[in-house]
């Protein structure tokens, strides 16, 4: 799947999200400042707050422990600055996804016009499809998986670095194991 194909699908995805109606809350905000490849500071009429791109996990670029930072994190951060800084975007928190992370950042799908930034950043190879905060509903789940697979097969971005590839595949395996352990313990505790 080519990136252009993904962008052609986006208006249909946007329409799908819009039609979910009351199940989905959309909010228009201005991107004040990009923090790193998956986080930015946003402002609406009342507040300023941090937003974390849902289903995205770019390499670190501003971590306190400098050893955690990776050059590809700076690439992702620069990409997001060019794409979003100073622009008005729409935030959507889809059903079955967490809305706030551990650091009190809002988790959201981010639309710039009809372009779903979360999907584009994965297609660009700057992030894996990150399911720690819940899997995406359809048709997003299929599109995120396909975008990651295409980026991995083309060795774009993080997938061109064997160390990052190994790290992200290992982390994804741990996320799956974590959820599997929780579901097994729930089954055992039921009478």
Residue 78, in any domain of the structure: yes
Estimate to the nearest angstrom the gap between the alpha carbon of 116 and the chain centroid.
10
**Predicted confidence (pLDDT) at residue 19 exceeds the cutoff of 50:** no
CB atoms within 10 A of CB 86: 10
The β-bridge partners of 50 are: 41
Among 55-64, 105-114, 146-155, the least confident range: 55-64
> Stretch 57-78: mean pLDDT, rounded?
77
Residue 187, in any domain of the structure: no
Structure pTM?
0.77
Please give the Cα distance from 177 to 182 (Å, whole number). Answer: 9
Residue 189, in any domain of the structure: no
**Predicted confidence (pLDDT) at residue 129 exceeds the cutoff of 50:** yes
Q: Identify whether 52 is a catalytic site residue.
A: yes
| Tokens, residue 103 | 């650091």
Q: Identify whether 60 is a catalytic site residue.
A: yes
**Predicted confidence (pLDDT) at residue 155 exceeds the cutoff of 90:** yes
pLDDT computed for residue 125 by the predictor: 94
pLDDT computed for residue 105 by the predictor: 92
Residue 28, in any domain of the structure: yes
Q: Show the domain range for 63.
A: 3-176
Q: 34: buried, middle or exposed (CB in 10 Å: 19+, 13-18, 0-12)?
A: buried
CATH of the domain at 23: 2.40.50.90
**Predicted confidence (pLDDT) at residue 122 exceeds the cutoff of 60:** yes
Give percent helix, percent strand, percent coil of the chain, each to the nearest 5. Answer: 45, 20, 30
| Tokens, residue 109 | 């799908």
Buried b (16+ CB within 10 A) or exposed e, 67-79: eebbebbbbbbeb
> Stretch 70-83: mean pLDDT, rounded?
88
Please give the Cα distance from 50 to 104 (Å, whole number). Answer: 8
Among 44-58, 69-83, 102-116, 136-150, the least confident range: 69-83
**pLDDT bucket at 185, cuts 50 / 70 / 90:** low
**Predicted confidence (pLDDT) at residue 26 exceeds the cutoff of 90:** no
Task: State how beta strands 106-112 and 48-53 pair.
Answer: parallel
The total of structural domains in the chain comes to 1
Q: Identify whether 105 is a catalytic site residue.
A: yes
pLDDT computed for residue 90 by the predictor: 97
Residue 92, in any domain of the structure: yes
User: Choosing from 7, 33, 48, 52, which is the catalytic residue?
Assistant: 52
Residue 191, in any domain of the structure: no
Residue 181, in any domain of the structure: no
User: Choosing from 60, 115, 124, 148, which is the catalytic residue?
Assistant: 60
Which residue has better confidence, 68 or 187?
68
**Predicted confidence (pLDDT) at residue 21 exceeds the cutoff of 80:** no
User: Choosing from 7, 28, 33, 105, which is the catalytic residue?
Assistant: 105
**Predicted confidence (pLDDT) at residue 7 exceeds the cutoff of 70:** no
Residue 186, in any domain of the structure: no
């Amino acid at each position: 799947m080519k990136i252009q194909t993904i962008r052609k699908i986006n208006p249909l995805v946007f329409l799908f999200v819009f039609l979910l109606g009351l199940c989905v809350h959309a909010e228009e905000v201005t991107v004040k400042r990009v923090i790193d490849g998956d986080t930015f500071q946003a402002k609406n009429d009342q507040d300023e707050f941090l937003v974390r791109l849902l289903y995205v996990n770019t390499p670190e670029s501003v971590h306190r422990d400098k050893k955690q930072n990776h050059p590809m994190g700076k690439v992702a951060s620069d990409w997001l600055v060019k794409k979003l800084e100073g622009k008005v975007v729409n935030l959507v928190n889809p059903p079955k996804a967490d809305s706030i992370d551990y650091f009190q950042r809002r988790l959201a799908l981010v639309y710039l016009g009809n372009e779903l930034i979360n999907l584009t950043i994965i297609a660009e190879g700057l992030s894996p499809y990150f399911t720690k905060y819940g899997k995406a509903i359809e048709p997003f789940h299929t599109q995120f998986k396909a975008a990651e697979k295409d980026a991995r097969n083309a060795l774009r971005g993080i997938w061109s670095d064997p160390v990052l590839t190994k790290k992200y595949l290992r982390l994804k395996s741990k996320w799956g194991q974590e959820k599997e352990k929780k579901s097994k313990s729930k089954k055992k505790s039921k009478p």
